[in-house]
Structure 1
Amino acid sequence: MARQGIKSVPVFHCDVCLGEAEVFPSTNNPSFQFPNNEIRITQLSTPSERCPPLSVLQTISPFSIRCKIQAKSVTNDSPISRLYLSCFQEFKTAFMVVGDEELHLVAMRSKVEKSPCFWCCSVRAGLYNSCLGMLNLRCLAIVFDLDETLIVANTMKSFEDRIEALSRRIRAENDPVKVSGMSAELKRYIEDKEMLRQYTESDTVLDNGRLVGVQNEQVPLLPGGLEPIKRPVIRLQERNIVLTRVNPEIRDTSVFVKLRPAWEELRSYLTAKGRKRFEVYVCTMAERDYALEIWRLLDPESHLISSKQLLDRIVCVKSGSRKSLQHVFRDANCHPKMAMVIDDRLQVWDDRDQPRVHVVPAFTPYYAPQAEVFIIFDDCISLFTLTIGSKCLQWLS
């Protein structure tokens, strides 16, 4: 280590003095100093089961090395040496909270001297522990869009608008092949609009001559909720169709929902082998009550997102704004480098997040129902291994 600009400071674990150490500021941050010119460790991190702590920190907070620290005049059984060995052998860090960030001391081998050596890295408060917990479980984050990615939903008004617009296009089109295709699409819209009308008016639908009535489904009570509610729902599982009412008291909030084929297979994959492979989030431009209900239809047993997590995990973005992983993970519960996005549109995402967006073809069941293929499983995993940071990849296998 270079000797220029070094400072000698006491090292504490809570109120216990462990000894003294020399602090070598990094070239990128030569004016860095610890509060009150002392290193006061408040706690040790959870042991890392797979990744060396420095690999985790450099993945979630690159260029975060504030300084290097070397103990002074120590013996093998001195308190600071015992701290060093505990951190080095058990893949732990010693850290303190300073404002809205944590300073983590990572035990490192010194190439020159045999005394205990630490690198000090800064990271947003709470982020290291959250990311380490996910890595220990071999669990990463996946963020879903809803509309035209996992589902297509229509109200009576949107059906009417689509039918009117398509009818105008048919009247203006001279190509008989295009007219035939658009006419078939129009027929599908009209049939589903009629089913939604039946549901809205009578809580029943006629499905291939079979009268199907609603089932009242209990909606999980959200944090702060006063009493649970029930929604009248019709599920036609063989057709991937669900009819629901966002506000059970107002029939005009009835919605006709088509689920993307193979969603059940994907949902099972996300929790395969009895464990979560991914922490699931949703980021959508839809309004909140609608988004919460659509997700409930997709995850009725709350296997992917628990009811206690819903308000934090379902992130709604104002129309016209761009989506951002920083906003999705605003509570420091994950880092964008450990996440990927499944969406049918790339440009709605912040520029820095776009490399993490896996774009799937838009779900268009009315335009091309036979062309629907939901192939994201293998692509999802291969892309993930490119996005979570090369420092940790070899430790996740």
Structure 2
Amino acid sequence: MLHILVHEWLEQCRYMQFPNNEIRNHHISQQSERCPPLSVLQTISPFSVRCKLESSSPTEQSHLINLHASCFHEVKTAVVLIGDDEIHLVAMPSKQKKFPCFWCFAAPVGLYNSCLRMLNMRCLSIVFDLDETLIVANTMKSFEDRIEALRVWIAQSIMDPMRVSGMYAEMKRYIDDRLFLKQYIESDVVMDNGKTYKVQLEEVL
């Protein structure tokens, strides 16, 4: 556990207060395999950077340099616990290279690890709500596979008109959605009921 006095740091912590004016490193986060910690925390932290810290005390230099180097090169963060929040200290390159520099982000306990696990595995966790509705993402190939499978089922269910009717309706939805996806891939535009929807770039603050 690394114990640091806040007054030994340069930079004003205007948006947060450390308990007893101290920073106590609780643990080191998991390693990020795909995204740097800065990118992960800018995505999940609602208030972005809470404060920026840079050491000016020679007495803590060796510990801080080791912590900074470890976090920076191993793509990890130092984690401080404050109530129900984790304060993630992200090692950043310093303008004054002899001083280690950290940017601090706040996130609910466990949120960083959950998001990092999904990013590392390149898949989203499935969440079942009360009515069991799921969001499914499709590609051109998955649309084509589903349409072909429905054609086979329709051929096999010709004696059941109600079931065939339902499968025809489902196949039409897949064909329409595949057309939307094809339009989007080719021109960044989707036509729906005679109305054109263009891609809109949004500026994120």
Q: TM-score range by the shorter chain?
A: 0.5 to 0.7
Which residue of 53, 59, 72 corresponds with 1:88?
72
Of Structure 1 and Structure 2, which has the larger fraction of its residues in helix?
A: 2
Which residue of 22, 44, 47 corresponds with 2:9?
22
Residue matched to 2:170: 372
Cα RMSD, aligned residues only:
3.6
Distance 1:103 1:365, change over 3 A: farther
8 Å CA contact 2:4–2:22 kept in 1: the answer is no
Offset from partner CA, 1:148-194 (integer Å, 9 cap, x none): xxxxxxxxxxxxxxxxxxxxxxxxxxxxxxxxxxxxxxxxxxxxxxx
The residue type paired with residue 135 of structure 2 is V
Residue matched to 1:111: 95
Task: Answer yes or no: is 1:341 the counterpart of 2:138.
Answer: no
The residue type paired with residue 25 of structure 1 is Q
Residue matched to 2:126: 280
Distance 1:19 1:100, change over 3 A: closer
Identity %: 46
Q: Over alpha carbons, which structure has the higher Rg?
A: 1
Of Structure 1 and Structure 2, which has the larger fraction of its residues in strand?
A: 1
1:365 Cα offset (Å): 6.0
The residue type paired with residue 72 of structure 2 is F
Q: Where in structure 1 are there 5+ consecutive unaligned residues?
A: 1-12, 141-278, 292-313, 315-339, 344-363, 392-397
Residue matched to 1:97: 81
8 Å CA contact 1:70–1:116 kept in 2: the answer is yes
Residue matched to 2:158: none
Task: Give the 3-state SS of the residue equivalent to 2:32 in structure 1.
Answer: coil
8 Å CA contact 2:15–2:51 kept in 1: the answer is no
Task: Give the 3-state SS of the residue equivalent to 1:283 in structure 2.
Answer: coil
Which residue of 19, 41, 46 corresponds with 2:30?
46
Q: Where in structure 2 are there 5+ consecutive unaligned residues?
A: 138-161, 186-198
1:283 Cα offset (Å): 2.3
1:138 Cα offset (Å): 1.4
Task: Answer yes or no: is 1:129 the counterpart of 2:113.
Answer: yes
* 1:230-269 map, 5 Å: none
The residue type paired with residue 370 of structure 1 is Y
TM-score by length of 2: 0.63
Distance 1:25 1:76, change over 3 A: closer
TM-score by length of 1: 0.34
Residue matched to 2:146: none
Q: Take 2:49 and 2:81, find their aligned partners in 1: how far apart are those partners? A: 16
Distance 1:120 1:23, change over 3 A: farther
Residue matched to 1:163: none
Task: Give the 3-state SS of the residue equivalent to 1:130 in structure 2.
Answer: helix
Q: Take 1:31 and 1:51, find their aligned partners in 2: how far apart are those partners? A: 26
In the comparison of the two structures, how many residue pairs are matched?
Answer: 156
The residue type paired with residue 341 of structure 1 is I
